[in-house]
Amino acid sequence: MQRATKIVATIGPASSDRDTLTRMIKAGVNVVRLNFSHGKAQDHIDRAVLVREVADACGVKVAIMADLQGPKIRVGKFENGKINLENGDKFILDADCAMGNQERVGLDYKALPRDLRGDDVLLLNDGLIVLVVERVLGNEIHTVVKIGGELSNNKGINRQGGGLSAPALTAKDMDDIKTAMSFQADYVAVSFPKNATDMEMARQLGNVAGEPFGHKPLMIAKIERAEAIPLLQEILDASDGIMVARGDLAVEVGNAAVPGLQKRMIKMARASNKLTITATQMMESMIVNAVPTRAEVSDVANAVLDGTDAVMTSAETASGKYPVETVEAMSAICLAAEKSEDCKLDADFLNLQFTRVDQSIAYGALFTAHHLRVKAIAALTESGSTALWMSRHNIDIPIFAITPNVATRQKAALFRNVRTFELAQSTDTEVVLKAVQDLLLAQGVVQKGDLIVVTWGEPIGQVGGTNALKILRVGEY
């Protein structure tokens, strides 16, 4: 059975050697995430080169996603590395403070005092420490500790309900986009976008930086700000996909709101023909344990049943003890969850109006494949759009994107229920259709006598030109 849900794995110190990365890719990694919050530019370049080499050696195409750091809204450093705050303590966040102590600490984001007023609630260290703003005096934010605890260097700051004005793209992010384009990252994940403009700017920067290489990355919006939620549709329209980034989002909107938002975001993205990645603490216990908790198994399975394109690991594979085992466990969970999925294609297409010929062909292929119970759907594609549209609907029939375009094969590694093969194009349709059958036979995904559905565009090789659909019986063509 072909696993439909894809796995995005963050690589870091625990997974950057050739042997471990090889084992992870063989275990089922489809997309490698490079976290630009850590490491130097050359570290990411070296890892990207290694990923391409290992993927080629394994005979698969793996996408690379460059995840930008975004604005650093954090406290500064302490004289002794950390302090302990008690409930009721007075504490000052001071933009001018060089080294923190028990009474005050500096700020990486110097503009924070201008964003706050009395009674605002600040959540530090992923919400473990809660401060209530009493007043703002110049560059000093005077607070009282509502929930205390240990506060150490460089811990993050969120405002409950969101609303901080820090720009999504920092100077570092702009440099990092150039670095990512130097190795033609397939995806760029933008941290903390507030609106469509943030995503449009990131896309423009990516396209300009990628132009010397003839490369245009796909853009993923990380939904982690409360103010992004009301503008979700416009952010989706300006992006190629979204990441349900549950960490910072949970701090801003509250933990209880996140499961419902996750389902809503995935549903909206699929309806908009966009990609989705579900992230944060999915297999957190496997940083130190060889098996996941039952709650983590349920979390991953529920994301699969929500229809996410991919589930993602962070520290589990970047710095944890069991990176390979994490991928193996996640793959097994996804496969098991997919067996219980409902296929509701008839309901999906009820009252749906198609506005494009290529999109109509994609949906026609799904409908035909479902009711004829064919063995495979093969989409001859240049851009990958036909396969993407097909992948927005649950179907227990594998979809194969067949293309001569390497960049398309790598990007499609993130598409739910899509596997890619390389096939040289020909202007002779009969020759190409015969080659498709031979390819699927050689790969062992069909047998002689099986029915398959094939889509293509005439003339063959034209982007956005899918206009033909044919039902073939393998071996009779």
The tens digit of pLDDT for each residue in 49-72 reads 999 999 999 999 999 999 999 998
**What is the structure's pLDDT at 477?**
67
Q: Is 74 a catalytic residue?
A: yes
Q: Average pLDDT, stretch 315-326?
A: 97
Task: Tell me how far apart the terminal alpha carbons of the chain are, to the nearest angstrom.
Answer: 26
Going by C-beta distance under 8 Å and a sequence separation of 6 or more, which residues neighbour residue 2?
Answer: 398, 417, 419
Q: Which of 6, 47, 74, 104 is catalytic?
A: 74
Confidence of residue 331 (pLDDT cuts 50, 70, 90): very high
Q: Which of 3, 6, 23, 33 is catalytic?
A: 33
Residues of the chain above pLDDT 70, percent? 97
C-alpha span between 251 and 209 (Å, rounded): 34
Q: Average pLDDT, stretch 431-459?
A: 92
Identify whether the C-beta of residue 458 lies closer than 8 Å to the C-beta of residue 451: no
Q: Which of 222, 270, 409, 411 is catalytic?
A: 222
Confidence of residue 462 (pLDDT cuts 50, 70, 90): low
Which of these, 444, 422, 423, 445, lies nearest to 434 by C-alpha position? Answer: 423
Confidence of residue 349 (pLDDT cuts 50, 70, 90): low
Q: Is 280 a catalytic residue?
A: yes
Confidence of residue 163 (pLDDT cuts 50, 70, 90): confident
In angstroms, how far apart are the furthest CA atoms of the chain? 81
**What is the structure's pLDDT at 355?**
76
Q: Average pLDDT, stretch 470-474?
A: 94
The tens digit of pLDDT for each residue in 232-285 reads 999 999 999 999 999 889 999 999 999 999 999 999 999 999 999 999 999 999
The tens digit of pLDDT for each residue in 358-386 reads 888 988 999 999 999 999 999 999 999 99
**What is the structure's pLDDT at 458?**
81
C-alpha span between 384 and 393 (Å, rounded): 16
For the chain, what percentages of helix, strand and coil (3-state, to nearest 5) are there?
Answer: 40, 25, 40
Q: Which of 10, 179, 280, 386 is catalytic?
A: 280
Q: Is 339 a catalytic residue?
A: no
Based on the number of CB atoms within 10 Å of its own CB, is 24 exposed (0-12), middle (13-18) or buried (19 or more)? buried
Confidence of residue 467 (pLDDT cuts 50, 70, 90): confident
What value does the mean pLDDT of the chain take? 94
**What is the structure's pLDDT at 340?**
87
Q: Average pLDDT, stretch 416-422?
A: 96
C-alpha span between 245 and 224 (Å, rounded): 5
Tell me which residue has tokens 């198609």: 354
C-alpha span between 335 and 350 (Å, rounded): 28
Confidence of residue 327 (pLDDT cuts 50, 70, 90): very high
Q: Is 18 a catalytic residue?
A: no
Using only C-alpha atoms, the chain has a radius of gyration, in whole angstroms, of: 24
Is residue 466 predicted with pLDDT exceeding 90?
Answer: no
**What is the structure's pLDDT at 465?**
80
The tens digit of pLDDT for each residue in 67-106 reads 999 998 999 999 999 999 999 999 999 999 999 999 999 9
**What is the structure's pLDDT at 350?**
64
**What is the structure's pLDDT at 463?**
66
pTM, entire model: 0.93
Confidence of residue 342 (pLDDT cuts 50, 70, 90): confident
